[in-house]
């Protein structure tokens, strides 16, 4: 289950709550993956430079919401105001490999990144999947420029051997503030049609729908029905369309489309795909806007999808587990085994993470698989972690094996407990008791 968000946030800060945006109160199964594409994230030079050194406020915000629910930030890519975030459940980590990011500038003839696309691609259970968040040129008259820019973004190449081009991925999701407008009709007709929920009257004049009838490369992209109000342009903190002097005509600028490669290939040959041949399918379950969010002049749009995959890789490359009881009172051992074809490296490491960790750099400590190895057999190896690196307070943790060659986590342990350090706990209690007994603190103690 994939939940995809596109939102032009108009340089605003994150809202206080995104429960409905992320469908966190849904009664159905939880999502396996969240893909969040933002446009017009605050990109003043000072903000952008600080965001390069640290995570930006939106990334921190979504990590704070999703990490306690068992999601980690798999990848992110930023180009000025464009931001793309991918979160996944822990259980899927060992089956997501070859993660690459890319960005393409199209503003000012390709020299400025205020417009363009940011992209994350990966191998998901052996299938290639690509996510592309775009911000295309604005204004009614720029349809051709929008199409030219999108073609340029599609032509970009990822770095790395054997990484397919964008259109060669099994599934490609294209979304963002695509800025297509409603042509020909006047503002009064458009608003009246919206007020009467007769959106179908406007579909045929939607510039993207019109372009799809003419442009062959667009015809391969699928979109759900636009059964929600146009998402641009609103007065801030309201569901009232633009009342400024400009009185912009409403439009479905914010869109989510997708393309399944094998279906395109079959369609070009004029033949159907049998059930056996179809190893991956995409089903749109819900395509909606979220009118309650008013921090920008755009409303966010979400698409909830079912991805049905016949796994081409169903076993993790590395299996690992903690040995014995873990605590900070002694060095601890980790056992792991790898499949024969696993391309190990001296730069591989095993990290100790709290169960609700946010991203792969959020480890408590780590061990190098070669430098810290203490035993090796044909079937398994052992590495140690120093007692000095183990948290005194204990808690619930997992171990993750990070592959330098594959640039991804290729094995994750079951959650396990680290016991609190008894010496440390006794010391803390002793310090607390002495504080409470101190004459200087009697008054403070009585306040409790």
Sorted by where each starts, the structural domains of the chain and their CATH numbers stand as 2-309 (3.60.10.10), 318-432 (2.60.40.2840)
Are residues 399 and 351 in contact, defined by beta-carbon separation less than 8 angstroms?
Answer: yes
pLDDT in tens, the chain (448 residues): 999 999 999 999 999 999 999 999 888 889 999 999 999 998 665 565 555 555 789 999 999 999 999 999 999 999 989 999 999 999 999 999 989 999 998 876 555 557 999 999 999 999 999 999 999 999 999 999 999 999 999 998 888 778 899 999 999 999 999 999 999 999 999 999 999 999 999 999 999 999 999 999 999 999 999 999 999 999 999 999 999 998 899 999 999 999 999 877 655 555 555 555 568 999 999 999 999 999 999 999 999 999 999 888 778 999 999 999 999 999 999 999 999 999 999 999 999 999 999 999 999 999 999 999 999 998 899 999 999 999 999 999 999 999 998 889 999 999 999 999 876 545 444 444 544 444 444 444 344 3
Name the token pair of 355.
């169960």
3-state secondary structure of 315: coil
Cβ count within 10 A of residue 386: 13
Adjacency order of strands within the sheet including 381-385: 318-323, 332-338, 381-385, 373-376
By three-state DSSP, how is residue 346 classified?
coil
Model pTM greater than 0.95?
no
d(CA 199, CA 287): 14
Tell me: cis bond preceding 233? Omega within 30 of 0 counts.
yes
């Amino acid at each position: 289950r994939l939940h995809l968000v596109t939102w032009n946030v108009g340089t605003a800060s994150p809202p206080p709550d995104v429960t409905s945006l992320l469908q966190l109160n849904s009664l159905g199964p939880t999502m396996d993956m969240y893909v969040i594409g933002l446009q017009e994230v605050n990109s003043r030079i000072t903000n952008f430079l600080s965001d390069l050194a640290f995570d930006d406020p939106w990334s921190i915000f979504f990590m704070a919401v999703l990490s306690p629910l068992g999601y980690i930030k798999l990848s992110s890519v930023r180009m000025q105001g464009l931001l793309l975030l991918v979160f996944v459940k822990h259980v899927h980590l060992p089956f997501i490999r070859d993660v690459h990011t890319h960005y393409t500038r199209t503003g000012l003839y390709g020299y400025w990144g205020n417009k363009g696309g940011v992209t994350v691609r990966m191998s998901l259970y052996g299938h290639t999947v690509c996510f592309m968040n775009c911000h295309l040129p604005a204004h009614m008259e720029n349809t051709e420029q929008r199409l030219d820019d999108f073609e340029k973004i599609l032509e970009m190449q990822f770095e790395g051997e054997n990484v397919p081009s964008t259109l060669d991925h099994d599934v490609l999701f294209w979304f963002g503030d695509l800025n297509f407008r409603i042509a020909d009709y006047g503002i009064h007709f458009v608003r009246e049609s919206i007020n009467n929920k007769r959106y179908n009257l406007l579909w045929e004049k939607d510039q993207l729908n019109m372009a799809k009838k003419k442009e062959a490369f667009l015809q391969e992209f699928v979109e759900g029905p636009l059964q929600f109000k146009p998402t641009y342009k609103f007065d801030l903190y309201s569901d009232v369309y633009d009342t400024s002097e400009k009185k912009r005509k409403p439009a479905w600028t914010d869109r989510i489309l997708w393309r399944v490669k094998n279906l395109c290939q079959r369609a070009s040959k004029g033949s159907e795909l049998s059930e056996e041949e179809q190893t991956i399918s995409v089903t749109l379950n819900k395509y909606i806007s979220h009118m309650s969010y008013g921090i920008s002049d755009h409303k966010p749009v979400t698409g909830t999808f079912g991805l049905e995959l016949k796994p081409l890789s169903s076993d993790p490359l590395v299996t690992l587990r903690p040995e014995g009881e873990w605590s900070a009172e002694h060095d601890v051992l980790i056992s792991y085994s790898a499949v024969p074809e696993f391309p190990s490296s001296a730069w591989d490491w095993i990290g100790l993470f709290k169960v609700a960790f946010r991203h792969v750099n959020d480890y408590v400590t780590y061990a190098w698989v070669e430098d810290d190895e203490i035993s090796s057999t044909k079937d398994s190896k052992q590495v140690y972690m120093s007692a000095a690196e183990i948290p005194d307070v204990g808690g619930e943790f997992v171990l993750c094996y990070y592959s330098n060659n594959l640039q991804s986590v290729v094995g994750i342990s079951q959650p396990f407990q680290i016991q609190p350090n008894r010496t440390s706990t006794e010391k803390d209690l002793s310090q607390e008791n002495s504080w409470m007994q101190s004459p200087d603190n009697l008054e403070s103690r009585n306040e409790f």
